[in-house]
Amino acid sequence: MRDPLADLIGTPDLDPSKEHRALGAKAMVSSDVPQCSTMGKAILQRGGNAADAAVTIALCLGSINLHSSGIGGGGYIVSSNSEAKEPEISIDAREMAPLAAYKDMYVSNPVLSMIGGLAVAIPGELQGLEELYRRHGSGNFTWSELLEPVIEMNRRGFECSVILSKAINLEVKVIFPFLRKIAESWDFVYKRDGRTAVSEGDIIKRPNLANTLELIARNGSSKIFYDPEGPIVGHLVEAANRVGGVLKKEDFARYEVRVETPLSATYDIDGLNHRVVTSSGASSGLALLAGLNFYHAAVTANDTDLLTTHKIIEGMKWMASARSHFGDFEVHQSNATYRQQLIKKYTSEQWSLEILDSGNYSDTQTFPFSHYEPAYQLTEPHGTTHFSVVDEKGNAVGMTTTVNLLFGSMVYDNKTGVILNNEMDDFLVPGTSNAFNLTPSIYNFIEPYKRPLLSVSPTILSVEQDDGSYIPKLVIGAAGGSRITTAVFQAIVRVIYKKMDLLKAILYPRMHHQLIPEFIMVENNELFEEEHTRYGTESIQSQMEKLGHDFYEGGSMTSMNGVERVDTSEGSWWEGVGDYWRKRGGADGY
């Protein structure tokens, strides 16, 4: 499915202007919205750390980038803080199915998993941010102080971007005419006449969201957002149930974030240990480690451009296979052992060596999808955002958060200003195979209080120092559904293994393979070929096709934001790059 917001910026070339990167000697933020990156930088300059800034950045993004994220959604956070009691944490703030959810609830009408109240799961973002603040915050800011800049911005208003304008116009002109009951509640998406959709450059104000954030700020925690007897929950439940939902106030009281030790693996690259830390839970962090595990075992110093590209794609295919076995294993403790077996398998050197030694990998061919033993189809949410932040002490946070599809479930509660997610669509429906006859996995069926599998993999990659400590080298993450993890994988390969600078790694056309459909998706065939032929190499596509690969040009697939530490003989600094070319992102640091 093509992203409806793709190709907004036009076709870039392979020599990006350096104006699209930010440099800082001390700290850096990179996100989809330059204004939010600057807001996070201000927190850092006032004595806050990466966790403090992350709270403000996430709430800013959810206000401006409202079609992609917000407190009506959820996501995953990876945080590293050397001074904390738990130096590394993975926070699962993924949405949770309500009590009334059941396995077959969408069998008769799958559309209800995407639009309307039945698509809504219990949001987790706000509680996840509070957990990050409590565990890794600096102590120099109160909870209220971190929310104040975002409250003020929503009251004062912010400029409608080209991205948001296109999303709102799609919603108002194409979707609303068919969803009149849902459309009735929306207010801020219109100009003063109440009929014409806002356009690029218009000022958008969200006073109702500001009021809700002010309640949360004054409360000193996220508890008021989940209190069944409080001033927020009742409105959210009413908004969802008015258009077919089954939420109960008690569902919000049952929500709890999960905090775990992140998944990690260490790779010796050029004689230095590189430690990759990524999200746990029902995310795709383990799939990322599986891909890196395979690539690290397969790569050699003598690989041609063709072999490098082939090995990246084979790594992506094994990632897709690994991910197909995942789900929310915390609902049933009996699955805990199985989960540990998966972690051990996909992070072990033995797994990748067995692939290479058993004939399951070949330099001269690829294989049909069944060769990789996948378990089921993959889902593709589109309304997602990621940001990366590093502070003066080298503490780092990567957060990927989402409401799933554009504007989530399309359910907007104008009393609280909250747009509710449609994360129930990330579960799989029993008895429904996709067009390629792949059967859904039992691990991602709907159950009460279960969390759907998500493609995100926010990642912090650190390099070992002479004293045995690790400092961040790369903080990276992406948005773009099932293409997220392959984008992060590709960025790590390009930056760490191939020594490409971050600016080019984020600009260059990305590839994606998820086993089904059986072809390599590339963002731009012309640029993809130019990347591989500009130094005289013959057509990489034709060479790959001889190995059995097929290609499909899919337009813009993912938006990626990252921060990299650059060390040279002249000194060290942070380089931040927001994905300007796909989502007008931007970075800011000092």
Cite the active site residues: 384
The residue assigned the tokens 């295919």 is 317
Distance between CA atoms of 466 and 470, rounded to whole angstroms?
9
Give residue for tokens 């009735």.
184
Q: Is the peptide bond before 517 cis (omega within 30 degrees of 0)?
A: yes
Residue 101: partners with Cβ closer than 8 Å, 6 or more residues away: 246, 424, 446, 447, 448, 450
| Phi/psi of residue 102, nearest 5 degrees | -150, 160
Parallel, antiparallel or unpaired: strands 28-31 and 586-589: antiparallel
Q: Do residues 69 and 97 touch, judged by C-beta distance below 8 A?
A: no
- The three-state secondary structure class of 498 is coil
Contacts of residue 487, defined as CB under 8 A and 6 or more positions apart, other chains included, come to 478, 480, 510, 512, 557, 558, 560
Whole-number Å distance between alpha carbons of 340 and 351: 15
Helix or strand run (H / E) with residue 473:
strand 470-479
Tokens matching residue 75:
């996501």
Q: Beta strand pairing status for 520-522 and 551-553?
A: parallel
Q: In terms of Cα–Cα distance, which of 458, 407, 405 is closest to 57?
A: 458
Q: Is 373 left (phi over 0), alpha (psi -120 to 50) or beta?
A: left
Closest CA to 68 of 158, 171, 155, 192: 171
Nearest to 287 by CA among 474, 79, 488: 488
* Separation of first and last alpha carbons in the chain: 39
| Residue 138, C-beta contacts closer than 8 angstroms, at least 6 positions apart | 47, 48, 49, 51, 52
Helix (H, G, I), strand (E, B) or coil at 22: strand
Written as six digits, the tokens of 514 are: 């998820």
